[in-house]
Amino acid sequence: MKNIIFRIGIAVLVVTIMAVGYGGWCDNKKDDTSAGSSTVTVEAPSALTGTVTAGTITLNWTDNSSNETSFGLYVKEYTASGWSIYTASIPANATSFSLPASNLSASPGNFQFSVSAYNSTANVESTASNIISLSW
């Protein structure tokens, strides 16, 4: 089996693909559960808050995962339809991130933010945190 992760907006869709064997649909691997392995999950950050002070956006959240290798910050202009990744390299165990507002827009605007946790070893991303809106 192979899990493929799709990010659609702020939702994460995990699709499991199985290989076709001689007897129809089957898992080409041996039964991994007998070896004691399990599916890796990453808990989503929560309680995302933010402030804008002197042109700097500061975001704070609660780290609910013990196995993330990094966090990703997603952002979108309030009226836009899609989310963009601002950075995927916020270090593990971080609970805040700051960036200049001018990195998002040369003129004042209203943006939405969300954070997710990522485990690079298992290639798994959490669901998104709550969404907040900030204006400057």
pLDDT of residue 38: 60
Which residues are within 8 A (CB) of 5 and not within 5 positions of it... i.e. 6 or more apart? 12, 13, 14, 15, 123, 124, 125
Count of domains observed in the chain: 1
CATH code for position 8: 2.60.40.10
- The pLDDT mean for the chain works out to 79
Percent of the chain residues past pLDDT 90, beyond the cut: 62
Q: Which domain holds residue 40?
A: 2-135
pLDDT tens sequence across 15-40? 433 333 333 322 222 333 334 446 89
Residue 9 clears pLDDT 70, i.e. is over it: no
pLDDT tens sequence across 52-90? 999 999 999 999 999 999 999 999 998 888 899 999 999
Helices H / strands E in the chain, number of each: 0, 12
Low-confidence winner among 11-15, 35-39, 105-109 (lowest mean pLDDT): 11-15
The predicted model scores a pTM of 0.71
